[in-house]
Amino acid sequence: MPFSDIYGQDKQVSVLQGAMLNERVPHAFLFQGIRGVGKKTTAKIFAKALNCEVGNADSCDVCRSCLKIDHGAHPDIVFIEPEGAFIKIEKIRELQAQIKFRPFEGKKRVFVIADADRMNDTSANALLKTLEEPTSSNILILITARAHKLPQTVISRCQKLRFNPVRSEIIASFLTDRMSMDENQALEVASAAAGSIGRAQEIKDGASVDFKNDVIRTFFTAGQSTDYRRIRLFFLADSFGTDRDSAMLKLDIFREWYRDVMVYRESHDVEKLIHRDIADVTKELSERMAGADILKNIQTVSHAYDAIDRNASRQLILESMALRLKGLS
């Protein structure tokens, strides 16, 4: 996969290729932007380009180095990810041990730290020592959707590269080109993806549509009795599932849908909605709820999302969220 396979981040690709062509590649990057916009994919392609045996500021995808990286077998390309809630200090110490030496076989050793904001204070301080003493043959790439949670001392020692939300028409092109999706369906999915190609791929799998139809329609249609809604309230938390990533995706959709309710309440314009496929439910709830209550619900769902992201107990957080939501019972 060369740089041309990255959708919607032309400026970011240009910066990276320019650094390689001018032989002025910084020792550390901070790739920041919302989840699913191509940060990790770009980091992998960048690592391939830096080590490609053809050496034309891109990856050829056929040389021995490129193929090893594609198969996760290159000894000089290291991906570090959280285990549980945090990136453990042992992983950073392993990085420090390796970074003292030259690459085993590549031109550059590249360390990619995914969800870098999930380093605890000990891990971040250990990494800071490495950032303060850079080596020319080793490059660090920190990836995060929440740069504000990183220590400023770490941020200041990295070259920052912001990845923008991807325009809907580009996401639609990705879905038609790469996923062989029908053009009309691609446009519908792209409009609900909120600028994230990764999110579009998750929606494509159908979980998003099922959640909206099976949960949002069930809980928020006015045609149900008050007693029925009260009974169903106790099962709302279960509808988010037991898988962390799936629960967070559904919470994101839930939060966006409440945003749609507020937008429609103020504008009465369906074209401004993210989730137009359930516009009928959105219209209905916007007429029943006060603006202040809608805002409180957005805040409640956001707090639940953040708590689960910090690895808090999913079931307790989701049950608490359901009880705090306005307009359910």
Q: Is the separation of the CB atoms in 114 and 87 below 8 Å?
A: no
Output phi, psi for 120, to 5 deg.
-80, 180
H, E, C per residue of 129-140: HHHHCCCCCEEE
List the single range of 142-156, 167-181, 226-240 with lowest mean pLDDT: 226-240
Output phi, psi for 101, to 5 deg.
-115, 165
Residue 89 to residue 92: CA distance in whole angstroms: 5
Which regions of the chain carry the CATH code 3.40.50.300?
3-162
Residue 319 to residue 315: CA distance in whole angstroms: 6
CATH of domain 206-324: 1.20.272
**How much is the pLDDT for 234?**
63
Q: Give which of 40, 283, 1 is closest to 144, Cα–Cα.
A: 40
Q: Is pLDDT above 80 for 183? A: yes
Residue 20 to residue 177: CA distance in whole angstroms: 29
- Across the range 136-144, mean pLDDT stands at 94
**Token pair recorded at residue 157:** 């020692």
Output phi, psi for 206, to 5 deg.
100, -15
Each residue's pLDDT tens digit, 111-132: 999 999 999 889 999 999 889 8
Q: Is pLDDT above 60 for 230? A: no
Query: Which tops the pLDDT comparison, 327 or 136?
Result: 136
Mean residue pLDDT of the chain comes to 87
Each residue's pLDDT tens digit, 75-90: 999 999 988 778 989 9
**How much is the pLDDT for 133?**
82
CATH number assigned to the domain with residue range 3-162, chosen from the 4 options 3.20.20.140, 3.30.565.10, 3.40.50.300, 3.30.230.10: 3.40.50.300
The sign of the torsion formed by the CA atoms of 100, 105, 107, 108 equals negative
Residue 16 to residue 31: CA distance in whole angstroms: 11
Q: How many residues does the chain have?
A: 329
Residue 54 to residue 58: CA distance in whole angstroms: 9
Which regions of the chain carry the CATH code 1.20.272?
206-324
Query: Which tops the pLDDT comparison, 209 or 99?
Result: 99
The separation between the first and the last C-alpha atoms of the chain, rounded to the nearest angstrom, is 51
